[in-house]
Structure 1
Amino acid sequence: MSAATTSVAVKRKGLSPLVKRLIWIGVLVLLVIAMALSTKVVPKDSELAQGTQQFNAAEYGATQFPKIQDYIAKNAVDASTLATAVKADAAAAAKQYGKSADGATYIIPVTFTGVVGTIPASGYTPITVTGLPDDIKVGLQLGPAVNGTDLRDVTGTVTLNDFENQIQYQDAGAAINEELKKNLAKMDASGLEGQTVKVEGAFTLINPQQWNVTPSQITVEK
């Protein structure tokens, strides 16, 4: 008679409730330490605490417009000198006297003296410029609307990369134009017809025979 083999199942002894509790406490302690190490204390008056500041177009325009006026005053080419250069080689003249943010269009700072023609309700006012040949016509933005971004772009240093998006970039140009409109309103530019004025401004050289100038400064000659 063969002997019966008896197997006995041995039950493993699990962790005691006390040990489990201690493990959980240890895990929580580690989590608290990790959170503390990853937390950065920021002073309440810092830029991070205040968050990203919203672009203030009006403030930008008020700050930049005087700088643009100064830049044009220092870098403007006399219109007669520019006309000679444009007649010889318009593309070379644009590169010599202008700045470009895109490498394709050039904005030129220019200065001249001339007699203001009939001011239209909208668009550019014709001005007869001293020293220019008859085949070059000059138009001047005198408001009430001021269009384009020649003043924003005349230095060649302001680009889309300076702003968060295209909307801010456009708002910056519009805000600078708003500052010009304020200046034109103060001097009552609508009443300049027939008067001799000295102009400092900027324009994009597209048509060598038509210069549409956005002024940065207008002085009435006495």
Structure 2
Amino acid sequence: MSAVTTSVAVKPRGMRPIVKRLIWIGLIVILVVAMALSTRVVSKDSAAAQGTQKFNAAEYGAAQFPKIQSYIADHAVDAATLATAVEKDQSAAAKQYGKSVDGATYIIPVTFTGVVGEVPASGYTPVTVEGLPKDINVGLQLGPAINGTDLRDVTGKVTLNDFENQIEFQNAGAAINDVLKKNLAAMNATELKGKTVSVQGAFTLVNPQQWNVTPSKITVEQ
């Protein structure tokens, strides 16, 4: 008689209901914590709550121009002092008295008193400044067009990173210049030929013999 071998399949035991429940509870807790960490609470008055606001160049220029005037008034170097420093070492003078937003060019706040020459239809008006070497020519922007971004950049604190894009950055500089144009028009700056003026302004020091100054403030001497 032959022996018969039998096998019995053993059904694996599943997780106990209490274990399943604990796992689900743990997953829910993890999800809630993750949601809480990724949620930022803002007040109803914050910029984020109100959404992204469109850049207003005119408002920016009106707000910044007085601050730029104040900065130049506080930091402007006398033209004669600057001329001596530039003659000795242009690079050192630029770093001592100016600010740079690109590490290459320096904008210098400057102050001087001089006699206004012939005012051209466009470009820079020559100003004869007493105390400067004869080989240094000073030009002054009197409008009606105002070029460049010397006023925007003179503090060294306004950079592209402050704006959404390059267009806003350019518009910011143009808006500051627009405020200056209004001020110059109000004082009839294009009719200053032959008059003695006290100037506060800024220029990019590139050519040590040609200072093309954008004014922040002009006072006509009596």
- Aligned to 1:109, the other structure's residue is in SS state strand
Measured after TM superposition, the shift of residue 150 of structure 1 is: 0.2
Measured after TM superposition, the shift of residue 41 of structure 1 is: 8.6
- 2:124 paired with 1:124: yes
CA distance in 1 between counterparts of 2:101 and 2:143 reads 26
- Cα 1:89–1:186, aligned 2, differ >3 Å: closer, same or farther? same
- Aligned to 2:202, the other structure's residue is in SS state strand
2:182 maps to amino acid: K
2:180 maps to amino acid: L
Measured after TM superposition, the shift of residue 42 of structure 1 is: 7.2
CA distance in 2 between counterparts of 1:43 and 1:95 reads 43
CA distance in 1 between counterparts of 2:202 and 2:177 reads 12
- Aligned to 1:96, the other structure's residue is in SS state helix
Measured after TM superposition, the shift of residue 48 of structure 1 is: 3.4
CA distance in 2 between counterparts of 1:42 and 1:103 reads 38
CA distance in 2 between counterparts of 1:122 and 1:40 reads 53
- Cα 1:42–1:205, aligned 2, differ >3 Å: closer, same or farther? closer
1:130 maps to amino acid: E
CA distance in 1 between counterparts of 2:96 and 2:40 reads 52
Question: Which residue does the alignment assign to 1:106?
Answer: 106
Deviates more, 1:39-48 or 1:77-86: 39-48
User: How big is each residue's C-alpha offset from its partner over 1:98-147, in whole Å with a ceiling of 9 and x where there is no partner?
Assistant: 00011000000000000000000000000001110110000000000000
- 2:193 paired with 1:193: yes
CA distance in 2 between counterparts of 1:42 and 1:80 reads 53
Question: Which residue does the alignment assign to 1:47?
Answer: 47
Q: Any gaps of 5 or more consecutive residues in structure 1? A: 1-29
Question: Which residue does the alignment assign to 1:56?
Answer: 56
CA distance in 2 between counterparts of 1:41 and 1:89 reads 54
Give the TM-score normalised by the residue count of structure 2.
0.80
Question: Which residue does the alignment assign to 2:5?
Answer: none
1:110 maps to amino acid: V
- Aligned to 1:92, the other structure's residue is in SS state helix
CA distance in 1 between counterparts of 2:208 and 2:40 reads 59
- 2:208 paired with 1:202: no
Question: Identical aligned pairs, as a percentage?
Answer: 77
Q: How many residues are matched?
A: 189
User: How big is each residue's C-alpha offset from its partner over 1:152-208, in whole Å with a ceiling of 9 and x where there is no partner?
Assistant: 000011111111111110010000000100110111101101000000000000000
Alignment of 1:95-174 (within 5 A): 95-174=95-174
Give the TM-score normalised by the residue count of structure 1.
0.80
- Cα 1:133–1:169, aligned 2, differ >3 Å: closer, same or farther? same
